[in-house]
């Protein structure tokens, strides 16, 4: 089989099985056009399942139909190549979009399967296949060319017939003007791109997708098979192209076309005849004669039109002599009707109004379609929730797009009935939205512009509520409910929000890492939030103000350099902060936690203190991980109001006491993460008293002669399999624990109130109350101990007085017991002690290394889920667990070091926990070190994750992850991921540890971020591929290395970023390749944010780039269509870009950037003038903000 035949087979599989041709649309001069339905996301313009599109098949033909007497010099290949280039490369709302062009060489046997005719009942398709077979029989093979196009409605010729048949049509005058305006806009755009259409006629002008009774605007110009780019044709000095072919449709062809010397005025001639037909019905058999009389006889009486200025325009456009004809489309204008108000009754009439009217009053009906307001000063008024604008398809990004300015929209309902669609997409400035409701879709409202006002605005049942990228937007009385992720996300600055209400609707799940009522991002500053109830808040950026804000769950304040926030009269349950600088808060009324942090001040005081110092803490939260390294230090709070909060995954211990003779008292320790501990004591003779612990583990003792008195521990419920304890005496002697209470009595068997390890002796324990306890070691004294659930007692020399428990498990070694009461007692052999699962697990995960526990590993082969759980509980370091092909269900944890789990293949062995839907749950959690996980597929459901690597030095390879919130989360250090595939998750890999390696990663349909490196350093990502993700890689850390990264946007509906370096220094990126990030205004291949510094980017192709921050170095980088510069001190070497825009950069040398002097239109459509940098034109001799420019930067040759 030849390579071409094999490609055809593959193509047949892809298009024959995933696309079903459902209707024959028409046959033109060079191709056959069909309507088809796609069931998968393949083509760029087909963005969802069950979407309709159009496909045009072009067969070999060297004698194009409808040409004039002259002979065309164009081959069929040139024809469709021009059609592709002059449509797909010229994107405009009035130009028919083309999504894909390809060609295949088929042998005779490959033809039926290529078209998928076995299940098709379309007669024309079978005729096309027969025609292809005839050609293949004669030639031995056939080359078929295929164009995938946006599906349109009926053409203008059909509308003309409809108008002649139906005399009374509502708003016909407005509809005529809307059609003509669309043709003018499209033709003006083409001529601006130097494209001459050459076959403009009603059959090549289409309405948008419509129902049989509707004619939806905007119209689109199609069929570019005869078009020519005159800039490439080397026009003569007078602007007329020489030696052009005599092609087109004879009835609409300008007289000069037969000479072969003509220019854009030929299209204007055709336009004039089309306008004539739009305003004056002309019978088909009279058309040729009437056209002849007007053009060649000069008989203007045949034009019987009374609309002001239209007849004169038609006459001026159809002059036979080009010298008397209008010279440019810029002189063409159509007067719009002057009705003050108009009342559309269906979607078609609404489209007409949006093209022509200033004031539109909606009826109490549903308007279905994609609508755009692109003019200034438009008012749209509805009748409340009975006036509905909705959209069901996914071929457009939003139900309602507002690109105009100073518009007023109020009193109607917007419904996005497809998940990937936005409700309202705003790119215009200074618009007002009042008394509106948006429901469904990805985002209720997506705002790219500035100065917009939202009053009495409601969003419900969406993925996210409102996302704000513009500045100075105002929100007053905004309600958002029943969303899957976040309420309002702010990327812009100076945003004002008053009286905002957010709720999760019927969801009983507490907010996860992704769920915030309000999230203010790092690039934002000077936002103000007042009198709002947000459920959960995340604050980044700097200089934000929150007044009277209630955060029912949590407020998280991230550390961004230089920030300074004001929080007044705010309220919340938990405050997480990475030591952001906060102005003192007055009159707080927090339920459990006042929102107040002085972590940096405490760290500085502990570093600078001297022996004998007394540090008095005030009421409030001191967040971070603190260390006392000096002897004889007293740290004292004011009771429960003084809180030390260990709130990051980097700081795993709230307070470490590494010295001697210190006193800690009157504090509360808050450790909300399962891997954190309140205190760790490694010194001697320290006193800890009057301390309350909440969450995580309480206090861990690794020293001697320490005194612990009056402690209380309360564990917050965590995910199954996480070990926590109130007091752990791991090693040391003569430690004293007195008056200790632990109320965590109802959680799993691996939650302990008190745990005393084997390497301890002579401890004194008195007046302690807890649920479960384990005592090992030797010679401990226990008085008045109550273990309400169970007590495990091993070792020798212990003395017990007045101790009680529901169940005592002990060895046969003699112990002294006085006045003790145990409901049941279980005696075991002393050698069984080492097999106890709970204690062994905790001790191993706390301190023991694999080297200290020699074991000859054995192979374990569990046949079902229960046996796998038992293997994981009973295994020893070095064991190998071999999984068969099939499904294992449950939550699994690896607590021992050096354990290997090996499946039968990436998609053969499946782990799944179908009953787990809560946040922070993982199907497989690895707490041990140096473990190996390989050859598995892990399926996560709901908001759970796939794999959690809590330990260090682990290897995960040849794994697949499907669904869930995260594929992999790495919290330990020096782990390695290799050959990992993640699909359909929210995040792919979330890396929080240092020194980890990630290699050969493949992320597909990851909705948010493919790889997130957060707050960690010296990680390496090599050879990663991302398809259809909002962001490929995001970095917040130092010294990370990214290499060989490929990012393809695919069909992702929103804005996208290939690689974003959000914060940190010394990060490097080599060989980044980005594709498809030019479709949206906010798409970027590479983004360096303001908190990044000293990044080095080399050997990359990025398509569009934004550079902020400080002193970045770029070498051999293709920035593509647009390079936006901010920040200070960047340098460039051997780089290139089509467009450079300086926003506020300083001391940036761009002499190393080759700025291309050729057409560059970008999707921002800045293509009509020399580029303006902050309102000024720069040339070779001028400088601006320290940039050096070598040449006039020009987007469009005049």
Kindly indicate the confidence band of residue 831, based on its pLDDT and cuts at 50, 70 and 90.
very low
Question: What confidence score (pLDDT) does residue 595 get?
Answer: 40
Place of tokens 């902020």: 1108
Question: What confidence score (pLDDT) does residue 1189 get?
Answer: 31
Q: What is the pLDDT of residues 646-678, one digit of tens each?
A: 654 445 688 889 899 999 999 988 775 555 778
Kindly indicate the confidence band of residue 69, based on its pLDDT and cuts at 50, 70 and 90.
very low
Identify whether the C-beta of residue 643 lies closer than 8 Å to the C-beta of residue 670: yes
* pLDDT over threshold 90, residue 947: yes
Question: What confidence score (pLDDT) does residue 508 get?
Answer: 38
Burial 142-176 (b: 16+ CB within 10 A, else e): bbbbbbbbbbbbbbbeebbeebeeeeeeebeebbb
Q: What is the pLDDT of residues 379-390, one digit of tens each?
A: 899 988 889 998
Identify whether the C-beta of residue 620 lies closer than 8 Å to the C-beta of residue 598: yes
Question: What confidence score (pLDDT) does residue 646 get?
Answer: 66
* pLDDT over threshold 90, residue 763: yes
Question: What confidence score (pLDDT) does residue 783 get?
Answer: 95
Identify whether the C-beta of residue 1050 lies closer than 8 Å to the C-beta of residue 1076: yes
CATH number for the region 347-583 comes to 2.160.20.10
Question: What confidence score (pLDDT) does residue 675 get?
Answer: 57
Look up residue 63 and give its two tokens.
């004698």
Question: What confidence score (pLDDT) does residue 29 get?
Answer: 59
Average pLDDT of the residues in 159-165: 86
Q: What is the pLDDT of residues 4-56, one digit of tens each?
A: 443 443 344 333 334 567 788 877 656 788 887 654 333 333 333 345 778 88
* Distances from the Cα of 1145 to the Cα of 235, 410, 688, angstroms: 41, 40, 54
Ranges 14-23, 48-57, 197-206, 298-307, most confident: 197-206
Identify whether the C-beta of residue 132 lies closer than 8 Å to the C-beta of residue 113: no
Average pLDDT of the residues in 835-849: 37
Kindly indicate the confidence band of residue 574, based on its pLDDT and cuts at 50, 70 and 90.
low
Average pLDDT of the residues in 446-463: 90
* Distances from the Cα of 148 to the Cα of 7, 87, 1028, angstroms: 18, 11, 20
- Cα separation, 484 vs 497, in Å, equals 21
Kindly indicate the confidence band of residue 185, based on its pLDDT and cuts at 50, 70 and 90.
confident
pTM over 0.85: no
Q: What is the pLDDT of residues 45-65, one digit of tens each?
A: 333 334 577 888 888 764 434
Of 437-441, 664-668, 715-719, 789-793, where does mean pLDDT reach its minimum?
A: 715-719
Sequential DSSP letters for 504-558? -TT--SPP-TT--SEEE-TT-BS-EEEEEE-SEEEE-SBS-EEEEEEEEEEEEE-
Is-cis flag, bond preceding 218, omega within 30? yes
* pLDDT over threshold 50, residue 977: yes
Q: Which helix (H) or strand (E) holds 979?
A: strand 976-983
* pLDDT over threshold 60, residue 350: yes
Of 304-313, 513-522, 957-966, 1107-1116, where does mean pLDDT reach its minimum?
A: 513-522
Look up residue 1198 and give its two tokens.
């005049």
Of 159-168, 669-678, 793-802, where does mean pLDDT reach its minimum?
A: 669-678
Look up residue 685 and give its two tokens.
């003779």
* pLDDT over threshold 60, residue 445: yes
The residue that leads in pLDDT, 1180 or 463, is 463
Question: What confidence score (pLDDT) does residue 243 get?
Answer: 58
Average pLDDT of the residues in 65-87: 48
Question: What confidence score (pLDDT) does residue 409 get?
Answer: 93
* pLDDT over threshold 60, residue 569: yes
- Cα separation, 1007 vs 223, in Å, equals 36
CATH number for the region 156-331 comes to 1.10.510.10
Q: What is the pLDDT of residues 429-441, one digit of tens each?
A: 989 999 999 988 7
CATH number for the region 3-149 comes to 3.30.200.20
The residue that leads in pLDDT, 338 or 1050, is 1050
Question: What confidence score (pLDDT) does residue 214 get?
Answer: 64
Question: What confidence score (pLDDT) does residue 998 get?
Answer: 94
Of 110-114, 119-123, 706-710, 744-748, where does mean pLDDT reach its minimum?
A: 744-748
Q: What is the pLDDT of residues 589-648, one digit of tens each?
A: 433 333 434 666 787 888 889 999 999 998 877 877 788 989 999 999 998 888 887 654
The residue that leads in pLDDT, 582 or 170, is 170
Question: What confidence score (pLDDT) does residue 845 get?
Answer: 36
C-alpha atoms less than 13 angstroms from C-alpha of 349 in its C-beta half-sphere: 17
Chain centroid to CA 281: 51
The pLDDT mean for the chain works out to 77
Beta strands at 892-894 and 859-860: parallel, antiparallel or unpaired: unpaired
* Distances from the Cα of 529 to the Cα of 496, 584, 720, angstroms: 6, 17, 38
């Amino acid at each position: 089989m030849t390579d071409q035949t094999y490609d055809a087979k593959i193509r047949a599989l892809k298009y024959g099985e995933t696309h079903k041709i459902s209707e024959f649309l028409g046959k033109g001069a060079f191709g056959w056009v069909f309507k088809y339905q796609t069931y998968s996301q393949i083509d760029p313009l087909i963005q969802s399942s069950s979407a309709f599109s159009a496909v045009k098949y072009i067969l070999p033909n060297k004698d194009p139909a409808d040409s004039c007497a002259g002979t065309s010099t164009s081959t069929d290949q040139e024809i469709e190549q021009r059609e592709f280039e002059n449509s797909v490369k010229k994107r405009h709302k009035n130009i028919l979009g083309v999504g894909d062009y390809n060609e295949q060489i088929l042998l005779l046997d490959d033809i039926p399967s290529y078209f998928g005719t076995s299940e098709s009942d379309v007669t024309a398709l079978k005729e096309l296949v027969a025609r292809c077979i005839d050609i293949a029989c004669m030639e031995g093979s056939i080359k078929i060319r295929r164009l995938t196009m946006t599906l349109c409605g009926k053409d203008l010729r059909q509308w003309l017939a409809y108008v002649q048949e139906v005399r009374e049509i509502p708003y016909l005058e407005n509809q005529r003007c809307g059609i003509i305006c669309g043709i003018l806009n499209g033709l003006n755009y083409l001529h601006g791109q130097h494209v001459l259409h050459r076959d403009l006629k009603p059959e090549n002008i289409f309405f948008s997708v419509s129902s049989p009774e509707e004619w939806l605007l905007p119209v689109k110009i199609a069929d570019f098979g005869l078009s020519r780019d005159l800039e490439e044709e080397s026009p003569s000095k007078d602007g007329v192209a020489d030696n052009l072919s005599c092609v087109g449709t004879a009835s609409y062809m300008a007289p000069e076309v037969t000479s072969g010397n003509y220019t854009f005025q030929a299209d204007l001639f055709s336009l004039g005849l089309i306008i004539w037909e739009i305003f004056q019905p002309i019978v088909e058999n009279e058309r040729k004669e009437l056209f002849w009389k007007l053009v060649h006889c000069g008989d203007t009486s045949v034009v019987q039109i009374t609309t002001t200025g239209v007849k004169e325009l038609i006459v001026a456009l159809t002059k036979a002599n080009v010298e008397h004809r209008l010279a440019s489309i810029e002189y063409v204008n159509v007067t719009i009707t002057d009705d003050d108000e108009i009342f559309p009754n269906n979607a078609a009439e609404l489209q007409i109004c949006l093209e022509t009217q200033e004031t539109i009053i909606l009826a109490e009906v549903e308007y279905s379609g994609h609508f755009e307001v692109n003019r200034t000063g438009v008012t749209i008024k509805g009748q409340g929730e009975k006036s509905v604008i909705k959209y069901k398809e996914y071929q457009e990004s939003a139900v309602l797009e507002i690109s105009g300015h100073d518009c007023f929209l109020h009193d109607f309902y917007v419904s996005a009935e497809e998940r990937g669609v936005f409700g309202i997409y705003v790119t215009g400035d200074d618009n007002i939205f009042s008394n509106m409701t948006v429901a469904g879709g990805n985002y209720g409202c997506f705002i790219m512009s500035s100065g917009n006002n939202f009053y009495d605005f409601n969003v419900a049942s969406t993925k996210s509520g409102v996302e704000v990228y513009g500045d100075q937007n105002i929100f007053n009385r905004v309600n958002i409910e029943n969303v899957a992720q976040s309420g309002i996300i702010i990327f812009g600055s100076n945003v004002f929000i008053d009286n905002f209400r957010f709720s999760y609707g019927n969801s009983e799940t507490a907010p996860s890492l992704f769920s915030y009522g309000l999230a203010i991002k790092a690039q934002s500053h000077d936002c103000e939030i007042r009198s709002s109830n947000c459920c959960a808040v995340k604050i980044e950026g700097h200089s934000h103000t929150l007044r009277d804000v209630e955060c029912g769950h949590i407020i998280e304040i991230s550390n961004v350099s230089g920030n300074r926030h004001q929080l007044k009269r705010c309220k919340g349950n938990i405050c997480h902060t990475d030591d952001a600088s906060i102005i003192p808060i007055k009159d707080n009324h927090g339920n459990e936690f006042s929102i107040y942090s002085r972590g940096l001040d405490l760290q500085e005081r502990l570093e600078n203190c001297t022996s004998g110092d007394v540090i008095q803490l005030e009421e409030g939260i001191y967040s971070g991980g603190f260390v006392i390294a000096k002897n004889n230090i007293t740290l004292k709070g004011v009771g429960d109001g003084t809180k030390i909060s260990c709130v990051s995954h980097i700081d795993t211990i709230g307070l470490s006491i590494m010295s001697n003779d210190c006193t800690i008292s009157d504090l509360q320790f808050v450790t909300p993460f399962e891997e954190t501990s309140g205190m760790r004591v490694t010194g001697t003779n320290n006193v800890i008293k009057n301390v309350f612990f909440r969450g995580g583990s309480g206090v861990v003792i690794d020293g001697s002669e320490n005194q612990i008195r009056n402690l209380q521990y309360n564990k917050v419920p965590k995910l199954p399999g996480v070990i926590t304890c109130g007091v752990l005496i791991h090693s040391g002697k003569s430690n004293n624990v007195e008056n200790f209470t632990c109320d965590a009595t109802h959680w799993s068997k691996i939650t302990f109130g008190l745990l005393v390890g084997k390497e301890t002796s002579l401890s004194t324990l008195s007046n302690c109350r807890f649920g479960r306890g384990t005592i090992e070691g030797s010679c401990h004294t226990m008085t008045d101990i109550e273990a309400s659930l169970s007590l495990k007692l091993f070792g020798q020399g212990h003395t017990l007085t007045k101790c009680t428990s529901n169940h005592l498990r002990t060895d046969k070694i003699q112990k002294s017991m006085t006045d003790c009461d145990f409901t049941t007692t279980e005696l075991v052999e002393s050698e069984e002690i080492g097999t106890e699962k709970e204690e062994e697990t905790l001790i191993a995960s706390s301190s023991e290394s694999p080297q200290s526990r020699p074991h000859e590993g054995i192979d374990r082969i569990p046949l079902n889920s229960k046996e796998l759980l038992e293997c994981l509980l009973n295994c020893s370091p070095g064991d190998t667990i071999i999984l068969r092909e099939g499904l294992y269900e449950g939550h699994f944890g690896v607590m021992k070091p050096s354990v290997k789990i090996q499946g039968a293949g990436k998609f053969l062995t499946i782990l799944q926990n179908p009953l787990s839907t809560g946040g922070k749950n993982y199907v497989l959690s690895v707490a041990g070190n140096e473990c190996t996980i390989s050859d598995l597929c892990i399926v996560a459901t709901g908001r759970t994750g796939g794999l959690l690597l809590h330990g260090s030095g682990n290897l995960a390879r040849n794994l697949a992850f499907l669904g869930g919130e995260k594929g992999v989360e790495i919290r330990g250090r020096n782990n390695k991921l290799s050959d990992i595939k993640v699909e359909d998750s929210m995040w792919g890999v979330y890396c929080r540890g240092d020194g980890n390696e990630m290699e050969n990663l493949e992320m597909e349909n990851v909705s948010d971020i493919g790889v997130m490196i957060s707050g960690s350093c010296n990680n390496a990502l090599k050879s990663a591929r991302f398809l259809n993700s909002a962001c490929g890689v995001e970095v917040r850390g130092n010294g990370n290395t990214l290499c060989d990264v490929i990012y393809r946007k695919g069909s992702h509906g929103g804005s996208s970023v290939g690689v974003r370096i959000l914060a940190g220094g010394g990060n490097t990126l080599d060989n980044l390749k980005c594709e498809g990030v030019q479709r949206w205004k906010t798409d970027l291949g590479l983004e360096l944010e303001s908190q990044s510094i000293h990044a080095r980017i080399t050997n990359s192709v990025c398509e569009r780039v934004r550079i902020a921050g400080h002193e970045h170095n770029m070498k051999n980088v293709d920035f593509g269509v647009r390079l936006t510069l901010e920040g200070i001190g960047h340098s460039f070497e051997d780089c290139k870009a089509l467009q450079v825009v300086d926003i506020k950069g300083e001391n940036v040398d761009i002499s190393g950037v080759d700025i291309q002097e050729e057409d560059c239109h970008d999707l921002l459509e800045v293509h009509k003038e020399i580029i303006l940098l902050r309102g000024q034109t720069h040339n070779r001799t001028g400088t601006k903000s320290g940039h050096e420019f070598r040449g006039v930067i020009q987007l469009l040759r005049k």
